[in-house]
Chain A
Amino acid sequence: MTTKTAWLAPFTHPTPERLEAWFEREAAAGWQPDELGDMSAIRLRMRKTKASQVRYVVDPQQRVDEDYIATYQDAGWQYVGELSSLHVWRRRYRDERPEAFTDSASRRARNRRLAWVTGAVGALALVGMVIRVGLGVAGIGASSEDWVLEAGVLALIGLPLVAVTAVLLRRRDAA
């Protein structure tokens, strides 16, 4: 079985639409994700299959119940798995590309759900960066000489997440 690894897929394709488009390009090239697990957001295993036209849907949901799964499955969607609270669905099609979100209100709500997560994590990372810079400049803490590196890592995490949040919120307004 031929496989390949996609690293940090939800981060390199940070909005639902971009991640869906990436999955669909991969499917058209004959690559499908294996079963998704806890580490798949970081290391996603893809296996070579027959190239096919597949619609992917990414639905950010913190908590889902059986009714959520049943509603999608009844409507013909196959559950792929969860990527850090992003529930991934797929469906093969021939003619019209199927949609799971068919009105602007539910698309806005989807972006809002994801924006809450990216905004909260991004803001926490930036607050952590500010605190680390403050402690470093004041020379407080056992490893105070490492503050530039640690603050830099927090900025690298926080700034892209805040940028993604801004994109999602702009789309929410425009949808």
Chain B
Amino acid sequence: MGNSYRVALAGNPNTGKSTLFNALTGLRQHTGNWAGKTVSLAQGDIQYKDKTFNLIDLPGTYSLFSNSSDEEVARNYIVFEKPDVTVVVLDATSLERNFNLALQVLEMTKNVIICINLIDVAEKQGITINERILTNRLGVPVIKISARNKKGFPMLLDTIDRIVTGAIDCQPVQTTYPDDIEEQIKKIEPKVSELIGNELSARWVSLRLLDGDENLLNEINERFGQKERA
């Protein structure tokens, strides 16, 4: 048996998250490309070396600012349920669009793997991706895979393994904002940190508060209020 770790799969719609999920877990979760397809969270286990990875397939979203219930489910899972590793699945053929979500996740949590899927399709289109440069720039492992052809899986599983054992220390790059915003963050971050402790990234919560994210504020009140009462 050994230890069990939770690994969440995040990504834009139609990037092959569910295909990856099925290929890794052997489950036949239905894949299709209509909006909000992954409604409830599908879960499945993978045995790797002496460990069990519990894979969670989050809803496909373009963002995690909770504009919709899908985004809220995905965000709440990453921020409050705190998976041991979050794998962000990107479509190699439209990285620019996909990085919006990836950079958001890097702001929210530390242990992230950027998994560039559909690499075979991209190569056919003449797109070459240098994952080493991306890894250096982003501060987290970047891996190229083809979920459909089951390419790159050993590397992905090994990287998950090395993150949970602490062999890889992720240092996700933090987006730097214009000076006026950074000044405001500096002002409220210590207070936020005092209130929420180390449970959440104080910088991220500060940013969300500056953006006027009342939905997140309510969620924090509810979750942290419950803990105090318990």
A interacts with B: no
Task: Please list the residues of chain A having a beta carbon within 8 angstroms of any beta carbon in chain B.
Answer: none
